[in-house]
Structure 1
Amino acid sequence: MEAIKKKMQAMKAEKDNACERAETAESSAKDANVKAEKSEEEVRALQKKIQQVENELDQVQEQLTAANTKLEEKDKALQNVSFCKCKILHIIDRIADGAEESDIQRTDSLNADDEFLSLRCSSVQTEVISERQRRRTRSSGYPGLAFGSSIFSSGTLMKFSIISNELHNIQNVQLKRKKMRAMKDDLEASKESCDALNIRLQDEGRRREEAEGEVAALNRRIQLIEEDLERSEERLKIATQKLEEASQAADESERVRKALENRTNMEDDRISFLETQLGQARVIAEESDKKYEEVRRLMRKMLEHRSITDEERMDSLESQLKEARMMAEDADRKYDEVARKLAMVEADLERAEQRAEEGESWLVALRCWKETWKEPKNVQRAVRELEEELRVVGNNLKSLEVSEEKAQQREEAYEQQIRVMTAKLKEVSSTLMSLFFVPQAMQKEEEYEMTIRQMTAKLQEAEARAEFAERSVQKLQKEVDRLEEELMHEREKCHLLQEEVETTLKDLQSIRIGAREGEVQINFRRFGQHLLRTHRILSVVCRCLRVILALQYSRPNFRPTPSKVTVIAR
């Protein structure tokens, strides 16, 4: 029973460990799923970031191209402005040196269009064109010029030409001054624009450097993102493998579902067939219900009768238990009395031994020897008495063995009674299980349960007693084996004693009595030693017998016989 309980406890512990392992595995699987979802979200976020970075790169490249185009345009504009500055300074130098008007007019007439085209200032172009138109209108509107030389003389014409040339020179000087002022303004504006462009160029260079740094940082980020992408791709591969496995499982589940659908269709057909049979079965069930009620009434009567018989059996069992208890109490009382008597007898024996040891001396040995010498028949009687005592001891040992066998038989009988009681308990439990479904027998069932509990408690006590008895029997068996070995040694000692007695007899027979002066040559010392040895051997045998009897009386199921009592008295 203890081994079974230990096995059950071990099985429960293994079951608890398996449940804990399953829970940990489920939690780890949930954590893995959560981590996979997080990794998927991170991959999506990284993809979005990569797209944003690519868009930013495209925008930065477009801005760079636009800035490069602007720089090229500004470089061209600066080149044109520098060319115009050189031409204007050349003209100013020629005017300052006092060049001739004809040369200036020629150069003006030849290069006016080129200068006007090269100049970017629209205000200067408009002023020059307006002055030319004024000159034309004045020359055409002047009235004296229409008639030519017919009206005026050559002198007047020369004066008019001189005046017109002077006026023309004055106007040209004014125009040149205006041009110089405009050129100065343009130069200042161009200088300011150049400074602004230089500042912009510096800013754009800085921006370009910053953009290059950002591009390098973005490249580094892209490398890191690519590494993350590789890792995420590996995770995605693992996730895809898991998804494939899940898809396979889903396919299998779909197959199973289809098979179940087919089965459900088949079962629907069966249900339709069974519904037709149900109508027939209901009619049969109504008839069987009527029969069942009749049988139930009969079974109730039978079960009530059985319950009454079971109660009677329980009463008889209780009476048997009471008798067994009374028998056990009587045996315990007898055991106590016998133990007390044993203690008394042992005390008497110890006293007798002490007296015998004190009374033994060389004089008693001499007297005994003299008596035996006078009457040699006493020696033979003593030997016979010793042999009879040995026979009595052997008979006592046999009776002890017989009593031991009887005790074993009684133990077996008790075990059989325990088995019978367990079988009866099983029968009672089966009857109680049969009575469990009867509503009227619930109260009786509770009473039976109480009695069963009491009987189980009694059985447990009986089992404990049986186990204790078995242990005590084992111990006693070991002690019996030990005492048997001691008996063998004592028998050997008895044989040696017999041999010594024979030697003593031979010595007595070989005693020489001197005819002269009645001298007797006797070995008193040897004879006294033989007597002491015999006394010691007998004392050892008595002690062994006392030990055996004490062990036999110490058994719980042992009852003393009159032969044993006589042995103890002796």
Structure 2
Amino acid sequence: MGEKCPAEPDLCDVEGVDLSQESLGTLESDQGVVGSQDSYTSILPEDGAKLKKKKKDGKKTKKKKSSKSKSKDGDSKDSDGKEHKTKKSSSSRRPEPEGGNTTSNVNMDEYDKVIYNNDPLFSDLELSDKEGDSELQVPSRQRRQTRLMGVGSSGIFIPCTQFGLNSNTMIKFAIISTELQNVLQVSLKRCESEIAGLNRRIQLLEEDLERSEERLSTAQTKLDEASKAADESERAKKALENRGAHDYDRICCLEDMAREYTQTVNDAEQKYAEAARKLAITEVDLERAEARLEAAEAKIVELEEELKVVGNNMKSLEISEQEASQREDSYEETIRDLTHRLKEAENRTECAERECNLLHKGKAVLEGDLEKEQLKTKKLQEEMQQTYMEIHELMQ
């Protein structure tokens, strides 16, 4: 139990190994630790404790088997060999990186296949029974002293025999740290390429946004012009509606006046009928008075005077009737003119609405044509660039 390792006297006599500053730097870059260097020592005791537990379990199984049957030494050796194999297979298996997902074998480089392979990287991670026995004989005071030791000038002083580690395991840890550093560099390169692609995509999106903003500004100007034209047409429509209302009021007034004139004409006709009746009566009286000419000359003179007055009245009535008929004609003409104007105003409003609809449709068509022309210009620019490149190559 108290024998030392003949192959590695320096590492077994000394209870710790000094790590160089380069190995510590690789460990810091892989694990992302910026704080104190005691965090590296917290990584190692876990592996050492696991190895100690495995060795203790192996020794317990050995004692049980030896107490049961001493005659079966060959069987116990075979079982010990199997345990050693299981220890090798379990201890020499390479640990997976922290936070790493199980990678698929599709589209993997040779470097990725080496990194993400589950085959054992080192087959000599197991310690011998002598080393384990020498670990158990280390006094507790020396262990406390090694725990309380600080950082040296060259690196961290880590106890090896306490955790079941030798120089090979430390070399393996250094190799694993370099591999982790390489993995981080590869992942950083991939992230940088992804960031560059995203930046390019952002630039393209910004260019598309500027173009869409320019299109939106042009469409907004066209829409403002169309809205102004629509406002003007609405104003004209309102003015025409106001004029139509005013004309309607005027037509109503003229209709009232026409009714009054018709009433006056009816009255005149009634008077004329009465005058005609009187005339007939006077004629009858004249016929009767012809027989009485001689006796009633005075009455005849009076009747003649009355006839003259009636004739004058008849003339005046005829003149007034003619004037009334002329006024009627003029009123009818004015009514016709007003109705014609109203119809023209309605036709104008309908034409204005149709023009507005046509303008909206023309706007949509022009926007589509504009997009097509922009695509054509892009294609022409690309063709011009290609022709320039071909000419340049031919010149060279």
> Of the two structures, which has the highest relative contact order with CA contacts closer than 8 Å and spacing of 6 or more?
2
Pick the structure with greater CA Rg.
1
Shared fold by TM > 0.5? no
What's the TM-score, normalizing by structure 2?
Answer: 0.29
| Greater helix proportion | 1
What's the TM-score, normalizing by structure 1?
Answer: 0.21
